[in-house]
């Protein structure tokens, strides 16, 4: 009798386990619809996937919760990323240029999964590594020219640095760029002496390349003489309201930081932009602009545009730069090139007016 009871108890237990197991399987729900036309494309340190959108009918929504893409990373850890059911594109980033196998599936609200798609891809090198491999460092006037290629369309930071032999301090400059052919200039180097320039590339995730270095001997940069300079034109000037010298455009090239060109304020509130152009009287190679603000006045322009010309008619844009309202001379490196005319455009500021105490140019004759 005892054996019979034990047997019945065991049969009951097995039946219970079977029912629980069936219940768990039923809890997962019906399989969600599988993705179709799944395609994978290698990117720079990433894999890009697309697929045909799944319908958004109530039935589809009830079965399909998200898309899952899993792979094994370089450390051997299985990684999974989940994407909304409303998207038909996914990007898996932070990858290296090695083969990866990706498993792609859809997952239902209760955990059921669709038929899986398996795909192998080898991403291109991460963008910061790819760009670092194109870095070229060459000597320039009073500095270094750093050039690179960026075929990814992604934004990176190219940081160039050198140790100033006079102060033994590291001088650096960062160039943020997404352009295909990037160029940056590192200025302020002594001419005629070897200098080692070190360049690194950083992506938006702050991953940094190994340094690329080169030893160069910059050409000597000089401050160009103002002999023969004249004002070639201006948008407006304050005639008389600032005294017999200040206010007029000529005050920006008189060599005196106590005088200044000021845009009109006494007779009209002329809005931005304002501009002033200089005729150097001869062709010279310009590598830097040096601009001095009106002293002890901080209400002027906060952004400038630099331009240059060989004939005073056709102007080349040399770049737009932030301008700080401070007394010290501010330097703006430009691609060394021969010009006869330069123009400084004040593009915006907190008030309607702007001003400059001095326009200095650096380069070589």
- Give CA 66 to chain center in angstroms: 33
pLDDT digits (tens, 9 = 90+) for 264-293: 999 999 999 999 999 999 999 999 999 999
- Phi and psi at residue 185, in whole multiples of 5°? -120, 130
Q: What is the pTM of this model?
A: 0.73
pLDDT of 27 reads: 61
Report residue 62's pLDDT band, with 50, 70 and 90 as the boundaries. Answer: confident
Q: How far is residue 252's CA from residue 247's CA, in Å, rounded to a whole number?
A: 9
Mean predicted confidence (pLDDT) in 297-323: 97
- Tell me the chain's radius of gyration from C-alpha atoms: 33
For residue 77, the model assigns a pLDDT of: 94
Share of the chain above pLDDT 90, in %: 82
Residue 1 CA, distance from chain mean position: 84
The string of pLDDT tens digits covering residues 106-153 is: 999 999 999 999 999 999 999 999 999 999 999 999 999 999 999 999
Confidence bin at 168 (pLDDT 50/70/90): very high
Considering the chain, what is the average pLDDT of its residues?
91
What domains can be seen in the chain, in order of their start residue? 39-121 (2.60.40.10), 127-220 (2.60.40.10), 223-364 (2.60.120.260)
- 39, pLDDT greater than 90: yes
Asked if pLDDT for residue 13 goes beyond 60, the answer is no
């Amino acid at each position: 009798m005892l054996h019979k009871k034990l047997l019945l108890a065991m049969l009951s237990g097995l039946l219970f386990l079977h029912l629980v197991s069936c219940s768990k399987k039923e809890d997962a729900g019906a399989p969600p619809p599988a993705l179709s036309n799944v395609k994978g494309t290698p990117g720079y340190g990433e894999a890009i996937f697309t697929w045909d959108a799944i319908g958004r009918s109530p039935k589809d929504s009830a079965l399909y919760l998200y898309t899952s893409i899993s792979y094994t990373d370089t450390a051997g850890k299985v990684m999974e990323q989940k994407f909304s059911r409303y998207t038909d594109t996914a990007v898996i980033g932070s990858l290296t240029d090695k083969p990866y196998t990706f498993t792609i599936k859809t997952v239902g609200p209760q955990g059921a999964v669709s038929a899986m798609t398996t795909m192998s891809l080898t991403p291109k090198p991460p963008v910061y590594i790819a760009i670092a491999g194109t870095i070229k460092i060459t000597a320039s006037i009073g500095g270094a020219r750093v050039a690179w290629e960026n075929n990814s369309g992604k934004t990176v930071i190219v940081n160039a640095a050198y140790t100033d032999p006079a102060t033994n301090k590291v001088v650096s400059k960062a160039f943020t760029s997404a352009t295909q052919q990037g160029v940056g200039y590192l200025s302020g180097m002594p001419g005629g002496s070897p200098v080692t320039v070190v360049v690194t590339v950083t992506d938006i995730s702050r991953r940094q390349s190994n340094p690329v270095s080169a030893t160069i001997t910059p050409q000597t940069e000089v401050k160009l003489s103002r002999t023969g300079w004249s004002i070639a034109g201006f948008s407006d000037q304050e005639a008389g309201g600032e005294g017999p010298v200040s206010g007029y455009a000529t005050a920006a090239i008189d060599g005196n930081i106590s005088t200044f060109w000021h845009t009109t304020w006494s007779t009209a509130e002329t809005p931005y932009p304002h501009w002033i152009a200089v005729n150097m009287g001869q062709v010279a190679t310009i590598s830097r602009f040096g601009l001095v603000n009106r002293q002890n006045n901080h209400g002027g322009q906060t952004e400038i545009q630099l331009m240059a010309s060989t004939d005073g008619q056709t102007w080349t844009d040399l770049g737009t730069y932030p301008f700080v309202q401070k007394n010290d001379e501010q330097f703006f490196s430009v691609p060394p090139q021969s010009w006869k005319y330069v123009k400084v455009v004040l593009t915006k500021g907190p008030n309607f007016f702007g001003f400059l105490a001095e326009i200095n140019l650096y380069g070589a004759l």
